[in-house]
C-alpha cells in the first residue's frame, strides 16, 4: 500500500487533504503502529488541513483499551463502528463476531479515550427483530450519545449463510413492508432527537456529517489505496484495484499499478449525478446538469420529471431537484426511472 501511495501521489489535484478514511474492510485488525506508518507515508506526499477528518472503521471486538489508548495518540479522530444491533439474536443472524454487550461497551470505551466523533452502523428489517426491538435499539443509541448513524435495511446476499437458512425455512425472509415502517420510524425518531437526515441512509447531529462520504455524494475527486479500492477523478474516470491480494502484491512488487479504469460516458455521468444527488438533502443541481449535458439529454430529463413533480414524488427547491423525504425509502427506484439508457 505504501508503494501504491508513492506511485499514485500525483493523481489527486489537491494535495491538501480534507479527509482520510480507513475502511471498506476491517482496518482495525491492523496494529496502531501499522496505521501510523501508513499515515506517515501519506504525509510524505500530502498535507493535512488543520481540521482534517481521519476515520477508522472498526469492529466492536477490536476496540480494547490498549488499542484505543494507542489510537488516541494518532491523527485518527473519528471511529465508524460496525455495531449493527444491540441485540444478540440479530448479531447471530448476521454472523457477527461481537456480542450485544461488546456493541455497547466498545462505544463507551471509545468515548472514555476521547473519541467523541463516532458513527455506528445499525441494521433494520431483520427477521429476528420487530418494531419494538428496533425502538429499543434506537433508544440505546440515543442514550449512548452517538452523533452519527448509518442505517441500512437487511439484504439477503447470494451464497451466504442467511440465504441458506431462508431457503431451508429456518429463518423468515425480510419483509419490505416492515423495513419501510422501521425506516420511517428511524427517520422521525432521530429528527425528534436532534439529528439531521442528510442522506437516505445517514443521520447526523449538526456538525457531525461525514465529510468523507459527503465528498463522494458531491462528485468530488478521491483516491483509493489497497485491494478493491475505487478512485474517481471528479470528472469522467473511475478506477478500481484488483480484489485479489496476491495479484495486488505481485503487481506492486514490480512497481506496477494493479488497477483498471473506465471512461464514464455522458450517459453514465448523468445517471450517477441523478442517482447520488437524489439520495441527499442537497438534491441534484439543475444548473450543473444544464452546463454539463446536451439538449437531447435535458429534454429527456424534463419529460421524465414532469409527471413525477405533478405526482409529488419530486420537487424543485432553489434550482435543485429533490425527493421529498417521505418518499426516500423508494429513492433508488425513483432515480432509476430518470436514467438515460
pLDDT, tens digit (0-9, with 9 covering 90-100), for 228-247: 999 999 889 999 999 999 99
Q: What is the pTM of this model?
A: 0.91
Q: Spell out, as residue ranges, where the chain has pLDDT lower than 70.
A: 162
Q: How far is CA 163 from the centre of its chain?
A: 24
In the chain, what is the straight-line distance between the N-terminal and C-terminal CA atoms, in Å? 37
Give the integer Cα–Cα distance in Å for 124 and 99. Answer: 17
Query: Residue 57: what are its φ and ψ, rounded to 5°?
Result: -75, 140
Closest CA to 105 of 71, 65, 147: 65
pLDDT, tens digit (0-9, with 9 covering 90-100), for 241-282: 999 999 999 999 999 999 999 999 999 999 999 999 999 999
Quote the cell numbers at residue 51: 481540521
Please answer whether residues 264 and 253 qualify as being in contact, where contact means their C-beta atoms are separated by less than 8 angstroms.
no
Amino acid at each position: 500500500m505504501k508503494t501504491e501511495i508513492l506511485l499514485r501521489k500525483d493523481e489527486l489535484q489537491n494535495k491538501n487533504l480534507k479527509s482520510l478514511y480507513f475502511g471498506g474492510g476491517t482496518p482495525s485488525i491492523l496494529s496502531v503502529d501499522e496505521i501510523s506508518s501508513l499515515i506517515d507515508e501519506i504525509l510524505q506526499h500530502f498535507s493535512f488541513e488543520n481540521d482534517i477528518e481521519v476515520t477508522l472503521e472498526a469492529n466492536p471486538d477490536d476496540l480494547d483499551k490498549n488499542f484505543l489508548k494507542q489510537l488516541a495518540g494518532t491523527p485518527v479522530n473519528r471511529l465508524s463502528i460496525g455495531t449493527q444491533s444491540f441485540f444478540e439474536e440479530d448479531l447471530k443472524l448476521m454472523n457477527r463476531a461481537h456480542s450485544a454487550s461488546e456493541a455497547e461497551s466498545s462505544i463507551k470505551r471509545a468515548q472514555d479515550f476521547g473519541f467523541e466523533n463516532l458513527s455506528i452502523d445499525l441494521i433494520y428489517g431483520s427477521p429476528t427483530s420487530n418494531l419494538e426491538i428496533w425502538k429499543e435499539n434506537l433508544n440505546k443509541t440515543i442514550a449512548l450519545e452517538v452523533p452519527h448513524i448509518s442505517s441500512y435495511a437487511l439484504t439477503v446476499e447470494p451464497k451466504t449463510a442467511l440465504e441458506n437458512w431462508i431457503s431451508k425455512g429456518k429463518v423468515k425472509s425480510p419483509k419490505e413492508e416492515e423495513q419501510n415502517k422501521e425506516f420511517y420510524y428511524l427517520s422521525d425518531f432521530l429528527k425528534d432527537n436532534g439529528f439531521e437526515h442528510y442522506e437516505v441512509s445517514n443521520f447526523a447531529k449538526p456538525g457531525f456529517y461525514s465529510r468523507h462520504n459527503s465528498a463522494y455524494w458531491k462528485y468530488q475527486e478521491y483516491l483509493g489505496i489497497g485491494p478493491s479500492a475505487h478512485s474517481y477523478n471528479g470528472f469522467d474516470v473511475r478506477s478500481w484495484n484488483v480484489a485479489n491480494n496476491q495479484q495486488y502484491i505481485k503487481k506492486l512488487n514490480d512497481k506496477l499499478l494493479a488497477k483498471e479504469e473506465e471512461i464514464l460516458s455522458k450517459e453514465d455521468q448523468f445517471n450517477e449525478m441523478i442517482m447520488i444527488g437524489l439520495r441527499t438533502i442537497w438534491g441534484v443541481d439543475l444548473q450543473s446538469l444544464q452546463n454539463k449535458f446536451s439538449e437531447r439529454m435535458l429534454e429527456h430529463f424534463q419529460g421524465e420529471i414532469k409527471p413525477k413533480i405533478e405526482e409529488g414524488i419530486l420537487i424543485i427547491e432553489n434550482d435543485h431537484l429533490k425527493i421529498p423525504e417521505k418518499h426516500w425509502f423508494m429513492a433508488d427506484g425513483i432515480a432509476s426511472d430518470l436514467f438515460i439508457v
